[in-house]
A = this chain, B = another copy of it.
Amino acid sequence: MNGRDIRAVILAGGRGTRFWPLGREARPKQFLRIAGPDPMLLDTVRRLRPLVPPRRMTLVADAAQTKKARELLPRLGREAFLVEPEARNTAPALMLATARIWLEDPDAVVAVLPADHLIRDKIRFRRVLGAAAEAAAREDALVVFGIPPTYPATGFGYIRHDRSKGRRIGGVVFYPAEAFKEKPNLALADEYLASGDYAWNSGMFVWRAGVFAAKLERYAPECVPAWNAMIEALRSGSAAKLRAAFASAPALSIDYALMEKARGILVADGDFGWSDVGAWSTLLEIWPRDKRGNAARGETLALDASGCLVWNPGRLTALVGVRDLIVVDAGDALLVCDAAMDQRVKEIVEGLKKRKKYRKYV
């Protein structure tokens, strides 16, 4: 079903401080060359190209990130960039992007794809995307890509589905979603993993524009005034009206605003080697490692060192007698962090924000 009119909505506005000191406010994860030789945003666009031509792509981001994205993607036309009037979480952004497509064609299939995820098996990914478009169109469903969990992650939301109710569409298995679950604690994550009836919520969605509108109306009525205002503002072409419409939408995630409440959700089996690349230590599973488990960008000599991740391209790094460290030299700032504690890097960034003399490092 690759012939179907898939519109890709790429969420390119992600922020985050987990890749500090390489990642900065002005250089978030999707612009970093950490998962491969190119920025993840570029990988995201390239991965879609065989299925979605550039004119059917929409990149959603704030003004500053849009500027950077346009430099990175000079072949995308100006109309491909949809600037968020303000940061209001994913529900308003996806309502706006879907509304714009709905005005063109309510039957168009919208695929929502974060710009900062790693997908190892691109061919399988496109197969799942094509099948999801088919399923979304045929069954008037909201489709979410569920990732088969490989460990009891506490950093992702989960989707419960009934393994016995899987159906194949276009070579891909789809399950009816039974419940969306927030990030669990470790004991619960263990249960989820053991049961086999849970998938990670990847944040990738597929829906027809008109179906999205109908589901909003039925399951998220508090969003409907903003939706209607957006449609009206887009029709009028008034930036001020659009800003007001956007500001009137609840500042919620799409999961919270719609997916957790809606019925008629299908979970696509996202078995394409996914990672959200959520922190420095996840790169230990992505980059090639030496026989001691060290992974490095930049010349690195390891003497009795193991399990370390080094980012220091163009310079030399020597590790002596150290274990399980994250070492990141960003030129003006250096991080040395226990790999098991890389979630705490954001505390460093919070600390930097509090002092004027450190603001330049944020």
- Knowing A316-B361, A361-B316 touch, does A304 contact B344 (C-beta < 8 A)? yes
9 cross-chain pairs, A with B, having the tightest CB-CB distances, nearest first: A321-B338, A321-B341, A320-B337, A316-B333, A318-B348, A317-B334, A318-B335, A316-B361, A320-B344
How many copies of this chain does one complex carry?
2
- Interchain nearest-CB distance for A40 vs B (Å): 23
Expressed in whole angstroms, the Cα–Cα distance for A21 and B347 within the complex equals: 30
- Knowing A301-B352, A344-B321, A345-B320 touch, does A336 contact B336 (C-beta < 8 A)? yes
Q: Could you list some 27 contacts between A and B, CB below 8 A?
A: A21-B316, A21-B318, A301-B351, A303-B344, A303-B351, A304-B341, A312-B334, A315-B332, A315-B333, A316-B332, A316-B334, A317-B333, A317-B334, A317-B336, A318-B337, A318-B348, A319-B337, A320-B335, A320-B336, A320-B347, A321-B337, A322-B325, A322-B337, A327-B334, A327-B336, A329-B334, A334-B334
Interface residues of A in 292-328 (CB under 8 A from B): 299, 301, 303-304, 308, 312, 315-322, 325, 327
- Inter-chain contacts of A21 with B (CB < 8 A): 316, 318
Interface SS of A by simple majority: mixed
Expressed in whole angstroms, the Cα–Cα distance for A276 and B140 within the complex equals: 78
- Interchain nearest-CB distance for A261 vs B (Å): 38
- Interchain nearest-CB distance for A270 vs B (Å): 32
The number of chain A residues with a CB under 8 A from chain B is 38
Expressed in whole angstroms, the Cα–Cα distance for A353 and B58 within the complex equals: 53
Interface residues of A in 135-160 (CB under 8 A from B): none
- Interchain nearest-CB distance for A206 vs B (Å): 38
- Interchain nearest-CB distance for A349 vs B (Å): 9
- Inter-chain contacts of A186 with B (CB < 8 A): none
- Interchain nearest-CB distance for A249 vs B (Å): 36
User: Across the interface, do B304 and A320 meet the contact criterion of CB distance under 8 Å?
Assistant: no
- Inter-chain contacts of A358 with B (CB < 8 A): 299, 316
A244 interface contact, C-beta 8 A: no
Expressed in whole angstroms, the Cα–Cα distance for A177 and B24 within the complex equals: 63
A84 interface contact, C-beta 8 A: no
Expressed in whole angstroms, the Cα–Cα distance for A354 and B193 within the complex equals: 50
A87 interface contact, C-beta 8 A: no
CB-based nearest B residue for A358: B316
- Knowing A316-B21, A322-B325 touch, does A303 contact B334 (C-beta < 8 A)? no
- Knowing A315-B333, A333-B315 touch, does A320 contact B338 (C-beta < 8 A)? yes
A340 interface contact, C-beta 8 A: yes
